[in-house]
Every structure is written in C-alpha cells, then in structure tokens.
Copies of this chain bind each other. A is one copy, B any other.
Amino acid sequence: MTAVTDLVAEAAALDAADPLAHKRNEFDLDPGIAYFDGNSLGAPPKHVAGRLAAVVREEWGGRLIRSWSEGWWEAPVRVGERIAPLVGAAPGQVVVADSTSVDLFKALVAATRLNPGRDEILVDADTFPTDGYIADEVARLTGHTVRRVVAEDMPSEAGERTAVALINHVDYVTGRVHDMAELTAALHRAGALALWDLCHSVGALPVELDATGADLAVGCTYKFLNGGPGAPAFLYVATKWLDRFEQPLAGWAGDRDPFAMRGAYEAHDGIARGRAGTPDILSLLALDAALDVWDGVDRAVLREKGLALGGFFFRCADELLDGATIATPRGTDRGHQISVVDDDAAKTMAALIERGVIGDFRPPDVLRFGLAPLYTTYGEVLRAVTTLRELRVR
C-alpha cells in the first residue's frame, strides 16, 4: 500500500505540472476550504463583484433607462454567443434566458411542433427530476405520452411514435457521460429529435452539439460556468430548426419588433425567438463577466485535467478507502464528478463540510465530489479522500 506521504508528493507534482493551475487565482476561494461542489454552484471569479458593482452604479444608476439601448436588450444573444464555443455550437444558436426548467418547457413544446404526428416523449429515466416533471406537464398540454427509459435503451426504445427524447448528457447522480453522437444518431434513425440537458457537462467537458447533430439543448450556467446562484440558463436550437422553432412562452422579448408594441406576436428571426420576458440584467451581466475565465482555455486541456483529477481520486480511494463503492465509471465515460456510495450520506457529507471539505449528497446514498478543472487541485482531491477516510475509521 502506498503511504499517504507518497500521495502527498504525487499530488504536489501533479499540481506543479497542471497547465490550468494559474486559473485558480482567478477565483475567490477561501484557501482553508476544499470546494467540491462546483457541479452544483460554481465558485465566483474574483472580478465578478467589481463588474456587477459597475453595472449597478454606472449602467443602472448612471445611464438609467438609456442602458437598454446601449447593450442590455441584446445581451441574451450576445452572452449566448460566448457560451456557444463551450458547447460546440456555431454562432446564432444559443440564447441565455430564464431557468433550465423554463427553457426545457420551451424546447419540449417546440419539439412536439417540429415533429408532428408523433405522440410520445421519451425521458431519460435517470435524469434530474425536473426534466421529467416538465415533460409530464408538456404532455398534459399537448396530448403526448411520456415514457421513462434509461439512456442506454433509447436506441431500442425510440420508435415511430417518438417525437423527441430528452437525455441528460452527464448523469447527475453517478457522473456518467452518455454518448451524444451515438444516441443522437439512433434517435434520428427512429425519426425522433434529440434534446440534451447539458447542466452537468457544460463547462466541465467538451460538448459537441453541432458535430453530433443534436437538435435542441438546454443547460444551466451556475454550475461549471460559475455564473452565480440561479444564474439564467441557456437554450440551443440547431440552425436547421430555427425557422420553425415555435416556443410557447411568447413574451414580448422574443417578438420580431418588440418596441413597436404590435397586437400580434411574430417570432424574431433566429435564436432571439427563444427569449420570453424582459432579460434579468444583473444576473445576465454577472454571468457575462464570469465567462471571462474561459478566455484562452483549451477545451481538450480542460477535459484532460478533469479526467486526471478523477483518476487521481480513484487512485487515492484505492489506496485509502478500502472497500468503498464508487458509482462513477472509471473509464472516459465519466464527467467531472466522483460519486461515492455511503449508507449514511447526509451525515457523512455534513461531517465533511464541518472539516472544510464541501461536496454535496444526493438521496439516498451518494456523496458527490465535483471536480472543476479551472480551480480544483490534486491536493484538494487527496484532502477529500483522507478526510473521508478519517470519518470511516472512527
């Protein structure tokens, strides 16, 4: 068995060689805390506070209503364009607006309209509950049926009745990544559309919406994109569908000519039609500022470090956590989150947090450790595992 001191040296060597190590300094993180919940709430980039203060003082206070025509109104599409490269999207397909739940509703209703004559919505059975809740409500309004199917079975389950399938790119409990290219192709063979939930992959690993032929996607910006608590979500609509994309939340912001105050709604050209109400500027511009940390980040390097952090977690666990069950796959079919099974997960996580190791748990029995390649260190991974070991041998 490797001694802990060896692992300490190994972690130090890995941190010293980390090509993303300089990014850590861009975040406002208490050095006494090992933070592993960037998969739930990303840490704040240091410059966001100052930028937000300037928005309040100069744009809201100083320019007042004039700011709407000085950049605010177009911000949902402009900030969407900044997210596009992180999800493998060419320009014109991403807009930032509303919450993930609301964007899922827009995307699902629109999907049923894009693929008429089919009466079924498939939902990833292991996805985050909201996805299923929203699908049930869409079905109630459109007359469709919802069927819950695990992602791996989508190719065999999708059929001539399937209008659209909603799949979580990374399973939020186990951290497993689903193969977007393969599943999308299988759904297309069945004549169904593929709608991807990117909440647990965007900002953590490369996503290739255009290259895999994905039809629609939604994602949140408050996890690995560090946009702030409850920051607005984004919606992706593939270019091929934009002209026919008809979403049900036809608020004035998605209208072709909103300030003409016309009586009948006509959808805006392009992705701006994904908007609903007046954009939430404080949150949106905090997100805009937060996205600066991605400048110059190579997505392949990001992925490599995320996998390496996870690999080091496995290595530490193998050495120090005898017999622990880890729900996350060991191969490259994982995102940047390690899920340790623990019978008393709620209490164990509370004890970890008390010791300065902050992750979270998901019922009934999973401890989640998010690995954010921009700021998580190998030293912190070792600290998480050694702290967990201390709690287990008590």
B250 touches A133 (CB 8 A): yes
A129 touches B261 (CB 8 A): yes
Residue of B nearest to A220 (CB): B278
Known: A99-B280, A252-B129, A282-B283. A229 touches B43 (CB 8 A): no
Give the CA-CA distance A56 to B227 in the complex, in Å. Answer: 11
Mark interface residues in A244-274 (1 if CB within 8 Å of B CB, else 0): 0000111111010011111111000000000
CB-CB under 8 A from A72, the residues of chain B are 229-230
Of the 9-residue stretches A34-42, A149-157, A182-190, which lies at the interface with chain B? A34-42
A115 at the interface (CB under 8 A from B): no
Known: A141-B248, A230-B278, A281-B228. A358 touches B66 (CB 8 A): yes
Give the CA-CA distance A229 to B265 in the complex, in Å. Answer: 23
B280 touches A232 (CB 8 A): yes
Residues of A within 8 A of B (CB): 28-30, 33, 35, 37, 40-41, 43-44, 48-49, 52-53, 56-57, 59-62, 64-68, 72, 98-102, 104-105, 109, 128-130, 132-134, 136-137, 140-142, 148, 220, 222, 228-233, 248-253, 255, 258-265, 276-284, 286, 353, 358, 360, 362-363
Would you mind naming 20 contact pairs between A and B with Cβ atoms under 8 Å apart?
A35-B64, A37-B64, A44-B57, A65-B358, A67-B229, A99-B278, A100-B277, A101-B252, A102-B277, A104-B251, A129-B261, A132-B263, A133-B250, A133-B252, A141-B141, A230-B280, A230-B281, A230-B284, A232-B280, A260-B363
